[in-house]
Amino acid sequence: MLELRHIHQRYANLPLLQDINLQVAAGDIVALLGPSGSGKSTLLNIVAGLQAADAGSVWWDGQDITHLAPERRRFALMFQDFALFPHLNVLDNVAFGLVEQKVPKSEARNRALQMLGVFGLTELARRRVWNLSGGEQQRVALARALITEPRVLLLDEPFSALDADLRVALRQEFRSRIQAAGMVTLLVTHDEAEAREMADRSVRLLAGRLQPVD
Amino acid sequence: MTLIMRLTASRGLLLALLPAAALLLLLLAPVARLAWEGLDGGLGSTAGLSVWQPWLDNYLRWRVVWSLAQAAITCALALGLGLPLAWVLARFEFAGRALVLRLLMLPFVVPSLVAALGVLALWGPRGVISGALGINLQDTPWLLLYGNLFFNLCLVVRAGVDALAQVNARQVAAARSLGASPWRAFWRVEWPAIAPWLMSSLCLVFLYCFAGFGLALVLGGQRYATVEVEIYTLVAYELQLGQASVLALWMLLLTGAVALAYAALEKRLAAPLRSLPMPRVRPQGAPQWLALGLALAVLFGICALPIVAIFIKAISALGTGATGLFGAEMLAALWNTLRFSALALLMATLLGVLHAFAAQASVAWRAAAFLPFVVSPVTVAFGLLLLYPSWTASLPLLLLAYAVLAYPFVAKALSAGLDSLPVHLGRAARTLGASPWRCFWRVTLPLLRPALRRGMAFAAATALGEFAVTLFLSRPEWATLTTLIYQRLGRPGQANLDAAMVLACVLMALALAVFLLIDWPAPPLGPTHDPRRASGLSSPNRTAPYA
């Protein structure tokens, strides 16, 4: 279980996050709603370990991991712009995390190829990432995030870079893949329809505080 | 904040130690020593030198005024020719356009002495053109102005092309729909957008021409040599160190003032917003084709013809058997050029990398990389001569001076590369399990490689063609290709001129090899990371090599 306890964060001397408390159990998808600038992405960065909170702690299965380096948390973060590595092809992008786990390169590539097969992207394996469509880039980013079997999947506006039709079409696909992987998932979005369709429950970040959404 | 690990001020300071020591000991301290000599009224002076002497003495005043005038005339010519050329290259689509843009980089890697010989090969005594036309341009200002344009026209054209590419097509369309003719739309919308970039490049042109040495030494002759040449003459031949230091002090003040103007312009040039660029069109009708043809002809005539002329002269010299070309003297010079450049490049790369990473934590430190561009090589060499008189014939000092003059290219290219790295890539790597070091090794370094390679190539070109510092600090047995060319030029007779042409051809071939290294097609890194942009050398607000 992922737990956030009393997270506080200030930005430009103004309170951005105030006493944030949240629990997400394994297999749950929680949507974090809120307008632009409300601190959603900051909270995600704090959970990922990319940013230290001014106060509060992050817990995993009863252990305080607040000061654990991001690479040791096994929390995969998928960015709004997908953050695919432009110097690597699709296959090596997906294999990146496995190589960091000391999996031999050839085996990492084989497993990445299998993962691409699951996502229907096998024929794109050798392509450069900027030659892909938005939907393909998004699938590659999700495959890259899931291949290391992370404990937590953090999604930062994963559909915002896509056009409206594709966004709707991919939501269901995403949900089923994430559910199949069965991990804690925190989805940041400003789109209520997206939150309803993707998540088991939603919370809203407003004026720095978390509020449940009915 | 960039992809690299967050640099704290203390880490930045630690990284900056070595480049800071190099700048202090090899640039600032010599300059301070020289300034002190200038203000103090002069080493070995018997005439009670005044700091105002360059303005009181007719001969010296002419040198200063001419130095300023030739730089100003070059700026005017470069703008007058460069703007239409840039417009044609930015707006017309034609076969070979990418190649032309790439070739615009060529003069940046040509050593100034080679350029000077190129101009002589064209317009000098028995030059390819002057010989055919039966004219003699020796002892006129045209040779120097032509040489200045050879280097600087490309700089202005590149700045113009890049600036025009940032003009927002929607704004121009809005102006046209509001009743502006194409000409009025250019003056009222395009010109205000590109003018700051062009002015910034003109500051550099002025700086390079005003503080240039090699071209003025060879092409200026007795009457049209510049202050830098006068300083060298006073130090090397007349031992008038006091007068030389007063002149050098004025050079410092004047170049410093231009550099400040450049810095002020740079500050005003904010990063462009993402805009819809003007589409390029194929030329329509005879006038547009004529404009394109004319533009390419002017570019070829000014920026390529001197290089072609060197090859023609060298080949004909080889045909007549130019004397002693492949003897021990030339081989030793070639060997010295290669090993000095390689060692200087190693040191420059180390200094440049440290400087660039330290600059991520400090804006002021980033600006410090510009210092070696502001102080002319002659000033640096003269300052070193004054400050470290017992080390003037020391190879380490010579190589360190090379490195200090060359390392800003690495630092600036790498800084720009670091700036253009998307922050999310590093974060993604960290959440995928990469430690900060692994993140650097697997993501940052591969993405920085094009910028690093380009910076190193410019640094190598600077070291290969270095001339001023070598003249001041070198010993006869350390002669490089540039000093050997200069020696041959100083000896009478056609055979020596022929030999100089062949040597220049060899140096040019080395410079071309470096040029290919710069623009060798690298695997593209996609639209999110343009290596040309990341190098910081294609953008108009970046420093171009010293001409």
Digit-coded pLDDT (tens) for B359-391 = 887 777 877 888 888 888 888 888 888 888 887
Which residue in A68, A85, A133 has the most chain B C-beta atoms within 10 A of its own C-beta, making it the best mutation to test that interface? Answer: A85
Distance from C-alpha of B258 to C-alpha of B204, rounded to nearest angstrom: 8
C-beta atoms of A86 and B432 within 8 A: no
The alpha carbon of residue A214 is apart from the nearest alpha carbon of chain B, in Å, by 32
Beta strands A55-60; A209-213: pairing state: unpaired
Confidence of residue B130 (pLDDT cuts 50, 70, 90): confident
CB B447 to CB A86 under 8 A?
yes
Distance (Å) from the alpha carbon of A64 to chain B's nearest alpha carbon: 18
B528 touches chain A (CB under 8 A): yes
CA distance B3 to B423: 5
Confidence (pTM)? 0.78
Nearest CA in chain A to B449: A87
Return the number of CB contacts < 8 Å for A and B: 79
Of B524, B186, B424, the closest CA to residue A79 belongs to B424
Res. A94 pLDDT band, cuts 50 70 90: very high
Dihedral, CA of residue B67, residue B73, residue B76 and residue B82, to nearest 10: -90
Indicate yes or no: CB of A87 within 8 angstroms of CB of B528: no
> CA B51 to CA B247: how far, in whole Å?
8
Which residues of chain A lie closer than 8 angstroms to B431, CB-CB? Answer: 48-50, 70-71, 73, 75-77, 154
Q: What is the pLDDT of residue B88?
A: 94
Q: What is the pLDDT of residue B326?
A: 64
Interchain CB distance below 8 Å, B431 and A70: yes
Q: How far is A171 from chain B (nearest CA, A)?
A: 22
- pLDDT band of residue B178 (cuts 50, 70, 90) is confident
Under the banding of pLDDT at 50, 70 and 90, the label for residue B524 is: low
Tokens 């974060």 identify what position? B427
ipTM of the complex: 0.80
Contacting residues of B for A155, CB less than 8 Å apart = none
How many Å apart are CA B69 and CA B62, to the nearest integer?
10
pLDDT value of position B351: 94
Q: A11-15, A61-65, B169-173, B476-480: lowest mean pLDDT where? A: B169-173
| Closest C-alpha to A92, from A29, A136, A143, A159 | A143
CB of B140 closer than 8 Å to CB of B219: no
A interface mutation test: which of B1, B5, B431, B525 has the most A CBs within 10 A?
Answer: B431
Is B440 part of the contact surface with chain A (CB cutoff 8 Å)? no
